[in-house]
């Protein structure tokens, strides 16, 4: 097919509209970035691509796909690379964000000498990839609503890298423009959740935001690996992953009902205080009792059950057994009676709590953390989930680095 004919077929137009429509129904920003990039690459025939999102004065590297380096559905460390490019004319992505222009490059290693921007070969050098053609465009409308930059890399025709077609050059910026609405919504959802959690914990906002982001990301990656192992189909995995990430970020939202004196106590809680603290699971679950959506359902499951233990002995048990007047919590759940999403979040939460400084404890060494998790496999944690966690330990560590707060 000659892609250089400067027009889109009907099916291509329908496909673009369909994609944008679909993007609007998704919730979490990472899923929206994933879909945006996938569709953009499909439409432009690009081997790879990245999305940078505006973060303060810079552009934060936020998503990457690369058919040559890694498989789309695989958990990979590259996704959590952590760097920011200044919004300045010196870099290609900075230039696109600053000027609102689309930057087309046919050969990154042989660019004209008089351009304001330069190609940065750092990524290539680290990954062994060879960038040749690039199509870089701002996301959002210039100037006041630029939310980031979409960069497509290495257009492919007949399995060879070529320049980006005239069609792509003409239409991809339109796609980017529309996609940015969905991205903005995703960013807003994520920020809304972060704000809710800051209210809930009333700790240092920075610390809390990072904790919540980490637990969400750990849970999403553990879920993906677990579901792949179980032979779950790709669409189901993508859908659930989106929901579990957000729901898992909300696991401790019920702490909003716990007093500061207990929540911020810089020492070990007394038995009585811990008895009060346990109610954060119930308070959280009550927020989602309506269960209007899949997100409500999973948020309920996680808030209520993230302190249950695989072998029993956790809390709070079944909601119907809990009586506020007596304050009693009976009959902890165990095994499969604990929803999968809560079993996953339980491990993500404890791993993060042990890795972090709390008002009542210093961070543990990795050695101690990992031996504790192994020792608690089968008692506190679902052993299958512990196994999956160690399979993707490099990704887990990359997430911890990226959202280090």
Nearest to 146 by CA among 181, 115, 175: 181
Helix (H) or strand (E) holding 41: helix 29-44
**Are the C-beta atoms of residues 120 and 88 closer than 8 Å to each other?**
no
| Binding of ligand C2E by 146 (CB under 6 A) | no
CB contact burial 124-142 (16+ within 10 A = b; e otherwise)? eeebebebbbbbbbbbbee
Selected range binding Fe ion among 193-201, 229-237, 247-255, 268-276, rule: CB under 5 A: 247-255
108 is a site residue for ligand SIN (CB under 6 A): no
282 binds, among ligand SIN, ligand C2E, Fe ion, none (CB under 5 to 8 A by kind): none
Q: Which of 126, 206, 323, 361 binds ligand C2E (CB under 6 A)?
A: 361
Residue 122 contacts ligand SIN per CB under 6 A: yes
Please identify, using beta-carbon distances, which residue of 263 and 385 lies nearer to ligand SIN: 385
CB 292 within 8 A of CB 299: no
Q: Decide if 19 contacts 27 (C-beta within 8 A).
A: no
- Torsions phi, psi for 37 (to 5 deg): -65, -40
Residue 147: φ, ψ to 5°: -100, -15
> Please, what is the minimum distance in Å from the beta carbon of residue 374 to ligand C2E?
13
Listed ranges 1-9, 34-42, 263-271, 391-399: which one lies at the site for ligand C2E (CB under 6 A): 263-271
Mark residues 343-382: x for contact with ligand SIN by CB under 6 A, - for none.
----------------------------------------
Q: In the complex, what is the shortest distance from the CB of residue 376 to ligand SIN, in angstroms, rounded to a whole number?
A: 21
Element (H, E) at 401: helix 393-402
Q: How many angstroms separate the first and last alpha carbons of the chain?
A: 49
Distance (Å, whole) CA 347 – CA 215: 9
Pick from 277, 295, 329, 373 the residue near ligand C2E by CB under 6 A.
277
**Would you give the binding string for ligand SIN spanning residues 72-91, x where CB under 6 A is met?**
-------------x-----x
| Binds 194: which of Fe ion, ligand SIN, ligand C2E, none (CB < 5-8 Å by kind) | none
Contact (CB, 8 A) for 148 and 62: yes
Is 361 catalytic? The answer is no
Q: Which residues are part of the catalytic machinery?
A: 255
Kindly list the residues in this chain that would bind ligand SIN in the complex (CB under 6 A). 85, 91-93, 120, 122-123, 136, 151, 240, 298, 301, 339-341
């Amino acid at each position: 097919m000659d892609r250089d004919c400067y027009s889109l077929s009907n099916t291509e137009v329908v496909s673009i509209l369909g994609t944008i429509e679909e993007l609007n129904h998704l919730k979490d920003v990472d899923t929206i970035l994933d879909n945006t990039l996938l569709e953009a690459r499909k439409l432009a025939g690009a081997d790879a691509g990245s999305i940078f999102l505006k973060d303060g004065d810079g552009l934060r590297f936020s998503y990457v796909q690369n058919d040559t380096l890694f498989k789309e559905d695989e958990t990979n460390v590259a996704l959590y690379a952590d760097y920011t490019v200044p919004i300045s004319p010196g870099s290609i992505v900075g230039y696109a964000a600053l000027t609102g222009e689309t930057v087309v490059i046919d050969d990154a290693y042989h660019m004209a000498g008089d351009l304001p921007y330069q190609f940065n070969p750092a990524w290539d050098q680290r990954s062994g990839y060879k960038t040749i053609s690039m199509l870089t465009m701002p996301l959002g409308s210039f100037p006041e609503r630029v939310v980031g930059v979409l960069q497509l890399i290495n257009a492919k025709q007949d399995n060879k890298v070529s320049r980006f077609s005239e069609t792509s050059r003409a239409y991809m910026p339109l796609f980017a423009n529309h996609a940015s609405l969905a991205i903005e919504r995703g960013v807003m959802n994520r920020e809304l959740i972060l704000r809710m959690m800051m209210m809930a914990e009333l700790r240092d906002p920075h610390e809390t935001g990072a904790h919540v982001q980490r637990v969400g990301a750990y849970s999403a990656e553990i879920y993906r690996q677990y579901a792949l192992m179980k032979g779950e189909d790709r669409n189901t995995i993508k859908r659930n992953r989106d929901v579990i990430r957000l729901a898992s970020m909300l696991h401790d939202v019920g702490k909003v009902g716990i007093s500061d004196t207990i929540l911020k106590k810089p020492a070990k809680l007394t038995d009585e205080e811990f008895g009060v603290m346990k109610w954060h699971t119930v308070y959280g679950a009550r927020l989602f009792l309506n269960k209007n959506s899949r997100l409500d359902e999973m948020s309920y499951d996680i808030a209520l059950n993230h302190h249950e233990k695989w072998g029993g002995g956790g809390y709070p048990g079944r909601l119907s057994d809990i009586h506020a007047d007596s304050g009693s919590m009976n009959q902890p759940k165990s095994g499969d009676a604990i929803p999968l999403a809560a079993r996953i979040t339980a491990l993500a939460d404890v791993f993060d709590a042990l890795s972090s400084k709390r008002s009542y404890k210093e961070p543990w060494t990795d050695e101690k953390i990992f031996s504790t998790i192994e020792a608690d496999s089968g008692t506190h944690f679902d052993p299958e989930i512990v196994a999956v966690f160690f399979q993707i330990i490099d990704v887990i560590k990359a997430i911890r680095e990226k959202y280090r707060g």
